[in-house]
Amino acid sequence: MEKHTKLPNILLILVDSFNHRKIFSQDTLIPEIDKLVNSGVYFSQATSIADATLLSTTGLFTGLYPFKTGIRSPTKNLLNKNIHTFFSVLEKEGYENYAFRPTLQENDDLFPNFKNEDSLYDVFKNMSDGLGEKILDQLQKKKDKPWFLFIHPHDLHQPIIVPEEFRDEKFGISNYEKASASIDSWIGKIINQINLNETLVVITGDHGSYVKSLSVNGESIIEADGLTQLRLSQLSNKFPKFLDPIKKKVFFAMENKKQNKKQEIISKMDLTPNEKRNLLAGRFTTEHSLFDDQIRIPLIFVGYNVQKGIKITQQVRNIDIFPTIFELIGLKNNLDIDGISLKKIIDGETIKEIPAFIESNPLTIKKSNDVIGIRTSHYKYFRSKENVNDRINLYDLQDDPFENNNLATKRSDIILEMEKILQSIIGHQKI
């Protein structure tokens, strides 16, 4: 590797709803991402700290378990005054922070004032609606200081609208697969605009996602109509506030109708619990869970000071990403955080795996039954956030990677062990 004398640029691409299992399946056409995997360090077992954007990005940008930060839900989203984000550390080191992020993030104070005035984009836009071109324009602008650019594409988040040029079946059967191919092409265009010798690139997701489609004999028989969902969402946002109670009532009536229709179709099929979960998961399902489809994410480091062609199977967490960035670029991290640098693992050293604390993100318009838990590379454990004896789930991830068989009634010894780890992390903190 080359020796460097100045601080590198940093590019973080955080793809919303980035389902690790689906992205790296044979059904998904992602040549640009595959190229980056082979050109850098790829973690095949990375876990997000939460199943939705708010808490997962809180962990990512602070390196802390979110329950320590003050940010708990979209209605309780003020960062504690004593918490420092990695943005502030980078600013002190002379970096200029830029971003392109969806408007759903505009109400929390986790983020700084970014240098580019167009840092927020409409949540219903995707990369092919002009956002991708804006990003490329920003990358072409000359900058005198080292820069950090945070890009958060929303293309894989429901409702998924597939760009016209990717609607061909060669890109996949489901909308998720086709939209993944589109995202992949934009990642390739972005990477082509930067010098990897002078830029550290990190590609990951904020959380995973259920892929609500089922194919039989190569034909999709259950698939959400993204365009209809988009139009309904846009129309709903135009309603005045005083109509919210009626809007909610109509929305949940429509959701129940759709779910009942799905249930009717699914009841005639021989499906696994994992397949049923993917098809029945609703946008506002109140019974929350923490299956790998929701929390397991891709994680790739490539470029500046990164070795090539390394694939690491040890479990890591998204709160470890920034400590790793700092060590790779030679910055000291003096913050008291829960995340650790992964550079030793990258360099081939053996370190003890850290169990991943995981939690579900509360809903805003309806009370949800949230869960917390622990994931290791062997077991997944989660249970009710409010009651230690309620909704207990335990899965052997090595023998049952799709989490079809709940072992809660069979392995009380493992449950006790996992609950002990969970208690050691949360202590007396109210979550």
Per-residue pLDDT reduced to its tens digit, 341-392:
999 999 999 899 999 999 999 987 778 999 999 999 999 999 999 999 999 9
> In angstroms, how far is CA 18 from the centroid of its own chain?
6
Reported as a single tens digit per residue, the pLDDT across 262-320 is 777 777 788 899 988 888 877 678 899 999 999 999 999 999 999 999 999 999 999 99
27 or 318, higher pLDDT: 318
What count of residues does the chain have? 431
What pLDDT is stored for residue 1 in this prediction?
46
Fold classified for 370-426: Arylsulfatase, C-terminal domain (3.30.1120)
Cα 360 to Cα 406: distance, rounded to the nearest angstrom: 19
Q: What angle do CA 111, 385, 63 make, to 5 degrees?
A: 30
Identify the band that residue 217 occupies on the pLDDT scale cut at 50, 70 and 90: low
What's the rounded Cα separation, in Å, for the pair 54 and 59? 9
Q: What per-residue string of b and e applies to 212-235 under the rule 16 or more CB within 10 Å gives b?
A: bbbeeeeeeebbbeeeeeeeeeee
What are the pLDDT digits (tens) for 163-178? 999 999 899 888 899 9
Q: What is the pLDDT of residue 311?
A: 96
Q: What is the 3-state secondary structure (H, E, C) of the chain?
A: CCCCCCCCEEEEEEECCCCHHHHCCCCCCCHHHHHHHHHCEEEEEEECCECCHHHHHHHHHHCCCHHHCCCCECCECCCCCCCCCHHHHHHHCCCEEEEEEEHHHCCCCCCCCCCCCCCEECCCCCHHHCHHHHHHHHHHCCCCCCEEEEECCCCCCCCCCCCHHHCCHHHCCCHHHHHHHHHHHHHHHHHCCCCCCCEEEEEEECCCCCCCEEEECCEEEEECCHHHHHHHHHHHHCCCHHHHHHHHHHHHHHHHHHHHHHHHHHCCCCCCHHHHHHHHCCCCCCECCCCHHHHEEEEEEEECCCCCCEEECCCEEHHHHHHHHHHHHCCCCCCCCCCCCCHHHHCCCCCCCCCEEEECCCCCCCCCECEEEEECCCEEEEEECCCCCCCCEEEECCCCCCCCCCCCCCCHHHHHHHHHHHHHHHCCCCC
Residue 403 has pLDDT above 60, yes or no: yes
The pLDDT of residue 62 is: 97
How far is it, in rounded angstroms, from Cα 373 to Cα 187?
A: 33
Angle CA(109)–CA(115)–CA(116) in degrees, nearest 5?
100
Measured CA to CA, the distance from residue 376 to residue 397 in angstroms comes to 9
pLDDT (average), residues 405-415 = 97
Instruction: Output the six-digit token pair for 324.
Output: 């790793």
Bigger pLDDT: 237 or 321? Answer: 321
Q: Where are the domains of the chain?
A: 9-211+290-350, 220-280, 370-426
Q: Hunting for tokens 């309806």 — which residue is that?
A: 366
Percent of the chain scored above 90 by pLDDT?
Answer: 68
Between 56 and 251, whose confidence is greater?
A: 56
The pLDDT value recorded for residue 2 is 47
Q: Cα(194)–Cα(182) distance, rounded to whole angstroms?
A: 20
Answer with the residue of higher pLDDT: 29 or 147: 147
Confidence of residue 128 (pLDDT cuts 50, 70, 90): very high
What pLDDT, on the 0 to 100 scale, is given for residue 53?
Answer: 94
| Closest by CA position to 123, among listed 274, 16, 263 | 16
Which one has a higher pLDDT value, 109 or 154? Answer: 154
Nearest to 30 by CA among 171, 132, 211, 159: 171
Residue that the structure tokens 């050109």 belong to: 39
Is the domain covering 9-211+290-350 a CATH 3.40.720.10 domain? Answer: yes
Mean pLDDT of the chain: 89
Average pLDDT rounded to a whole number, residues 151-161:
93
Do residues 185 and 133 touch, judged by C-beta distance below 8 A? Answer: no
Q: Please, are residues 266 and 276 in contact by the beta-carbon 8 Å criterion?
A: yes
Distances (CA, A) of 323 to 52, 70, 343, 355, 419: 22, 21, 9, 17, 27
User: What is each CA distance from 45 to 21, 176, 272, 315, 353, in whole angstroms?
Assistant: 10, 21, 23, 5, 11
Give this prediction's pTM.
0.91
How far, in Å, CA of 127 to CA of 125, rounded?
A: 7
Tell me the percentage of the chain whose pLDDT exceeds 70: 88
Asked whether residue 122 carries a pLDDT value surpassing 80, the answer given is yes
